[in-house]
Amino acid sequence: MSDRGYRRPRALSPLREHLRDTFWFAPTVGLLCSLALWWGVSALDAEIVTHLKDEQAYEEVGDLIRFADDARTIVTTVSSAMMTFIGVVFSISLVAVQMASGQLTPRVVRIFVRSRISKLTLTVFLATFAFSLLVLTSYESESDPRRVTSVPLLQSMLTLAMVGLSLLLFIAYVSSTLRLMQVGPVVDRITHESLRVVGRMPGGVREELSLGAETARIGYAGRAGVLREVNVARLVRVARRQEVVLRLIPRIGDFVVPGTPVLAVHGGASPQRMPRYTISVGVERTPQQDLAFGLRQLSDIALRALSPAVNDPTTAVQCLDRIVQLLAAMLHLPLGAVQHRDGGGAVRLVQDGPEWTDLVDLAFEEIRWCATRSPQVSRRMLAGIDDVVALAPEDRKGALVRHRELLVKAVERTVPDVIAREFALFPDRQGIR
């Protein structure tokens, strides 16, 4: 198998993935940074006053006191209003997330949770609030330039700068949230993540490999959940040290429970237990190594749009646009079992993956059952299948042709009128122009 340009999937970082799936880490770090920043800036303010007093520049110290007193009103207003502002903004955001998950699919909530702009905005908002409170503690009741020890000059200026940054981030956050409430940007994000997984898949031609007799199986001992990622490099090193070939039994995206066989060992001595930090299990699927997850999400959005409660065939057409794009990108990709080799070229890990037929079924099977009620969707599906068939090699046309024939038969059974049936079976890339 030629692996020119192939890079193994990056090493697992369970902590990093956990932190990306949470909303508390970045704001907590922001609060700690605001405390450290206040401590450093307050020390600089004290140094400035001390230097001016050493130079007997009491008039300049008085000017600083007057400026700080004027800025104190703004700092007080910021400290009292920022928390209310945060509550209102993120209450609206929660409503927006709920609407998006209801109209599209609950799987898109992770896009909001992992959004960098959302976390950055909350972090800066909370840091501004905390910093403004700390600045208020730096104000002294003493107004005599000869007796004052510190004037929060830099602290006040930095508070104003943080307020300006908060306003800019608020604009960016609202813009980003509104975009993620639209179908187009959401399906584009899903497609982009899926194409990155496709780009990391090894190329070349799959070789038929005899693994030899299976000598042992290693069970899973962690908490139940969805298999999200595999640390390929670590498993290859373990297999090389043991002089064995490991075969991953479940696919990425499968649900595993304690005791489930995860690794099959072929040849040599078996590892005593599952090597640590080699697989990542979570509560839901992620797109990092899951080739089929993008198609699953697009299919879910299309099915929700075609349900009688929503009845939005145009959204289903947008999903079919991206499904066709993903299938076209996977056309010449070797699918099925992926063989990972060590530095000497020996196969050490075999990882099962979806076949081409599995991906085509995932893309079209469920949508086809609902497409007969909407000529817009049936026309777009026929055009999409025809486009992929025109690009596909001979060995991959069969699954596509099968779905086309099934769709035609389903429409013929559902639509008795000849004219209406001909209209519903006319391929159109826009559905209905």
Which H, E and C letters describe 318-378, residue by residue?
HHHHHHHHHHHHHCCCCCCCEEEECCCCCEEEEECCCCHHHHHHHHHHHHHHHHCCCHHHH
Beta-strand pair 225-230/279-282: antiparallel
Dihedral of CA 179/184/187/188: which sign?
Answer: negative
pLDDT at 4: 39
Count how many residues are written for the chain. Answer: 433
Question: For 336-391, what is each residue's pLDDT tens digit?
Answer: 888 888 888 888 888 888 999 999 999 999 999 999 889 999 999 999 999 999 99
Both structure tokens of 69: 């007193």
Identify the sign of the CA torsion 237, 238, 244, 247: negative
CB hemisphere CA count around 194 (13 angstroms): 24
Contact 319, 431 (CB under 8 A): no
**pTM beyond 0.85, yes or no:** no
Predicted pLDDT of residue 206: 61
Measure the CA–CA gap between 289 and 132, rounded to whole angstroms: 43
Question: How many whole angstroms separate alpha carbon 379 and alpha carbon 130?
Answer: 57
Report, as ranges of residue numbers, the positions in the chain whose pLDDT lies below 70: 1-15, 17, 202-209, 269-274
Distance CA 292, CA 194 (A): 8
Report the C-alpha gap between 377 and 411 in whole angstroms. 11
Q: Give the pLDDT confidence score for residue 322 in this predicted structure.
A: 96
Query: What counts of helices (H) and strands (E) characterise the chain?
Result: 14, 8
Residues 185, 202: Cα–Cα separation, whole Å: 28
Within 10 angstroms of residue 364's Cβ, the number of other Cβ atoms is 27
Strands 245-248 and 347-351: parallel
| CA 189 to centroid of chain Cα atoms | 8
**Virtual CA dihedral for 343, 344, 349, 352, nearest 10 degrees?**
90
CB 103 within 8 Å of CB 304: yes
3-state SS assignment for residue 265: strand
Q: Which of 39, 31, 41 is nearest to 123 (CA)?
A: 31
Q: Give the per-residue pLDDT at 208.
A: 66
Residue 339 in tokens: 């063989």
What distance in Å separates the CA atoms of residue 392 and residue 329, rounded to the nearest whole number?
Answer: 10
Distance CA 378, CA 374 (A): 6
**424 within 8 A of 409, measured Cβ to Cβ:** no
Strand order in the sheet with 279-282: 255-256, 225-230, 279-282
